[in-house]
Amino acid sequence: MERIFKNYRSTRSRTIRKIITLLFLSIFFLLSFSFPMISNAAPRLLDTGEELVIVIDPGHGGENEGTNTSAVLEKYRTLVTAQAMYEELSKYDGVKVYMTRTDDVDMSLKERAEFAASVGADFLLSIHYNASEEHAIYGMEIWIPATVPYIDYGYQFADVWLKEMSATGLHNRGVKTRIKNNGDEYYGVIREGKDRGITTVILEHCHLDAAQDAAFCDTEDKEREFGRLDAIAVAKYFGLRSTVLGVDYSGTDLAQAALPDLGILPLTLSTAPETCDLKLTELDEESGDATFVISAADSNELLEYYEYSLDGGETWQGITTWPGYAYNATKNQETATFYLNLPRETDTEVRVRVYNYYDQKTESESVIVHFKYQDELAAAALEWEQEHSGEEEIEQEGSTDAVGNPIVQDSEENDAADGTSISDNTTAGADDSDNSTAPETENADHDQPEQNRNDRLIVLIAIGIGSVATTSIIVFALRKKAQEEEKRTRRK
Ligand SMILES: [Zn+2]
């Protein structure tokens, strides 16, 4: 009886087992087809043990003001964001949260890492705001360790943080590493953290000196919102739950690929884009509309921005995101097209430069944009001048200046020359090259009338003297003849 019962039980349990197995298989089958991405998800590589400890580090403080490129110093902003992050993260279950500083005090990078180590931190997050040398670069980015295994932990967190922050609409500059020439971590807080076994990341929320980012960080509320998003990213990365908030991130999927697999080099090994060529592909002679195409290549890194100059590279007009750029893209788009409306009256020297993922730049050659309209204007001006200097043209027949253009005489100068064709060199000036031709022969001609006058005077005087002499001789002769007649008559 018992055996029969046993057999019955075992038959029944076998059937149940079969049904359960089938059920599991069909669920797995359904899931794997409905959500193919799930198979790409990875577990968190960082093991935090029993208790999770997070340390938030507001960057700078005290004498160390951080970037001062906007009205509010970076050291104050980082404190606002860090405090908001602390408050938000404290709402989650099973996490201990600390801050390296809560006041405006000086603190070395070593001291920050030492503090994190002293409280048993699993993760150290250094809060920052950014600024660039060019004051043109915009967007958010995250710096993670380049050292294994911290690079993998950092990358998995970075992927979550960048997704969370993308909701703000900020340009995504992605995840980066930087090493010193000796191979050690470049950034002090990351290096000091790594030396103590703590994964440390630097969160650069946005650029305080970029026009594109200004609207993202112009109020304290927005700085607090960054802190809230930072906290959510931590909660998602560590799969936390919050009874207070009623959220459960325990099922969050993390990225599998580590940074080197994406082909992203540390900044230290980065080189500028290999090529950057600019072409004018269309020009509307009437409206001034011009179409340009940039062809650029960078075999190691992503192309991220481009910008143009209208004065051959003296000044730049502000950067634009390279088409097709995404921080996790694997390939660059080769060309970017942009449009300008240019003045038709003057030539414009257009030049471009492209920036890669690490802001290394390569500049193109200049393209000189010239409109036919300018030639039409010049031709019309020449025609007008010719019409208004016709008389002088005839007088100056055949004479040209150094480059073969007909010399156009100033009519006032010719008026001053007493109505003759001989120009007056005293009014022309020494440095007026058009009038400095053959002055010596002209000066010789100038003396001629004076001499003629003198000659005529001499002739006249000679004639005068001659006449007087002749008259005197005639008179003298006549008087002598008359005296002789008188003597003869008296004798008679
Ligand atoms: Zn900073």
pLDDT tens-digit series, residues 51-76: 999 999 999 999 999 999 888 999 99
* pLDDT score at 134: 85
Up-side HSE of residue 98: CA atoms within 13 Å toward CB?
18
Instruction: Give CA–CA dist 491/150, Å, rounded.
Output: 166
Structure tokens at 257: 């690929």
Q: How confident is the model at residue 162 (pLDDT cuts 50, 70, 90)?
A: very high
34-38, 94-98, 183-187, 224-228: lowest mean pLDDT where?
34-38
Across 93-107, 222-236, 376-390, least confident range? 376-390
Q: Residue 216 — very low, low, confident or very high, per pLDDT cuts 50/70/90? A: very high
**What is the structure's pLDDT at 254?**
92
Domains 52-269 and 275-372 in one fold: no
Q: Averaged over 162-188, what is the pLDDT?
A: 95
Give phi and psi for 384, each to the nearest 5. Answer: -60, -45
The sign of the CA dihedral 67, 71, 75, 78 is negative
Distances (CA, A) of 372 to 128, 283, 288, 341, 380: 52, 11, 11, 15, 12
Encode pLDDT of 412-469 as tens digits.
333 333 333 333 333 333 333 333 333 333 333 344 445 555 556 655 556 656 565 6
Query: 454 C-alpha vs ligand 1 centroid, how far in Å?
Result: 97
Residue 383, pLDDT above cutoff 80: yes
- The reported pLDDT for the residue numbered 366 is 98
CATH architecture entry for 275-372: Sandwich (2.60)
Return the CATH number of the domain spanning residue range 52-269. Answer: 3.40.630.40
Q: What separation in Å is there between the alpha carbon of 318 and the centre of ligand 1?
A: 23
- Domain ranges within the chain, ordered by starting residue: 52-269, 275-372, 404-491
How many angstroms is it from 69 CA to the middle of ligand 1? 12
Confidence band, pLDDT 50/70/90 cuts, at residue 389: confident
- For every residue of 397-460, DSSP letters joined together read TT-B-TTSPBP---HHHHHHTTTSSS--HHHH-TT-GGG-SSHHHHHHHHHHHHHHHHHHHHHH
Distance 10 CA to ligand 1 centre (A): 68
Average pLDDT, the chain: 81
Helix/strand/coil for 103: coil
* Confidence at 322, pLDDT banded by 50, 70, 90: very high
Q: What is the mean pLDDT of residues 470-490?
A: 59
Does the pLDDT value for residue 242 go beyond 50? yes
Full-model pTM: 0.70
Of these ranges, 191-195, 265-269, 451-455, the one predicted with the greatest mean pLDDT is: 191-195
Whole-number percent of the chain with pLDDT over 90: 62
Tell me the CA–centroid distance for residue 357 and ligand 1, in Å.
19
Task: Give the 3-state secondary structure of residue 64.
Answer: strand
Ligand 1 geometric centre to CA of 75 (Å): 8
Closest to 408 (Cα-Cα) out of 416, 417, 399, 419: 399
Cα of 66 vs centre of ligand 1, distance in Å, is 5
| Cα–Cα distance for residue pair 202/194, rounded to 1 Å | 13
